[in-house]
Amino acid sequence: MLLLPEVVDLLRGEGLRNGETIDADFLGGRGGRHFAAEVARLYDTAAMLATLRRHLSNGMSAGQISRSLAFFDTETGRRILRLEVSAREAMREPSVEEAAGAAFAAAQARGDLRAQAVEEFIAANDLDDRNVAGALTSNYRFFRGLTEGGGNRMSDGEILDQVWSQADSLRDETSSWLRAYMFMAYQPLDTEEMAAYLAYSRSPEGQALNAALFAAFDEMYSAIYYGLGLAVAQAMGASDL
C-alpha cells in the first residue's frame, strides 16, 4: 500500500541532499566522507520502512486498513500514488518547484477549482500545522544532538528560542511547498477523481492513515535529526584535534 518503498527511497535521497546542506552550513563543507557516511547510515531505508509499516499497523484498525487498500487498489487510487511520487521527484529541482508555485498562485488568483481542492485537501488533513510541528520538532532534536555531542553550549531554553525564532519562516516555506507540490501532483486528475480522493481523506480510514503516517514521520525524523546533530558535533570535535 502507498508505494512505501518508493516513498522511502525518495525520503532517503532528500535526506542525503539535506546532509550536504548541513555540512555546508555547520562544517563549512569539510565534513568529508565520514560525515557523509554518517548521514547515509542515519537515512536507513530498511529502518524507515519498518517504522512506517509499524505505525500503519498499530495506528489503523483492520477495517480501516482494508478500506484503504480497497481505495488505493482502484485505478484512481493507483494513479494518485504514482502522481504523488513523480511530483515529489520532480520537485527536487528548484526550477520545477518555482514553476509549480507560480502555477498554483495563478490558479488561485483566478479562482481555479483545482487550487480550491488543494486547499480543501490541506485543511482536511491539517497538513500545514502537522508539517510545521514536525519540522520544529526535528530542528529541536538536531540542536539537542548538537549540544549533547559537545558541538555547542546552548541551554534547552536557548535551543527552544532558536527553534521558535524560525517558526514563521518555516510556516511560509511549508505552505508554499505544499501547495506547489499538491497542485502539480493532482493537476492531471479530473474533477471526479479529485472528489473521490477528498472524500477518502475525510473518511475515518483516511484520517487514521494520515495520523499514522505523521506519527511515523515524527518518530523517524526525531531520531534522524538527533543523530545528525551528534554527527555534526563529532565532526566539529575531529576538526579541532
Q: Which long-range contacts (CB under 8 A, 24 or more apart) does 210-217 make?
A: 210/125, 210/126, 211/59, 212/55, 212/56, 212/58, 212/59, 212/60, 213/52, 213/55, 213/56, 214/130, 214/134, 215/55, 215/59, 216/51, 216/52, 216/54, 216/55, 216/56, 217/134
pLDDT, tens digit (0-9, with 9 covering 90-100), for 18-50:
999 999 999 999 999 999 999 999 999 999 999
pLDDT, tens digit (0-9, with 9 covering 90-100), for 108-158:
999 999 999 999 999 999 999 999 999 999 999 999 999 999 998 899 999
What pLDDT is stored for residue 241 in this prediction?
A: 42
Q: pLDDT at residue 2 above 90?
A: no
User: What average pLDDT score do residues 43-69 get?
Assistant: 97
What pLDDT is stored for residue 240 in this prediction?
A: 55
* Mean pLDDT for all residues in the chain: 95
Q: pLDDT at residue 237 above 90?
A: no
Helix ranges restricted to H, the chain: 4-27, 32-42, 45-59, 62-72, 75-90, 94-109, 113-124, 127-148, 156-164, 167-186, 191-202, 204-240
pLDDT, tens digit (0-9, with 9 covering 90-100), for 69-103:
999 999 999 999 999 999 999 999 999 999 999 99
What pLDDT is stored for residue 41 in this prediction?
A: 97
How would residue 239 be classed by pLDDT, with cut points 50, 70 and 90? Answer: low
User: What average pLDDT score do residues 208-230 get?
Assistant: 97
Extract the C-alpha cell encoding 195.
472528489
For the entire predicted model, the pTM comes to: 0.94
User: What average pLDDT score do residues 5-18 get?
Assistant: 96
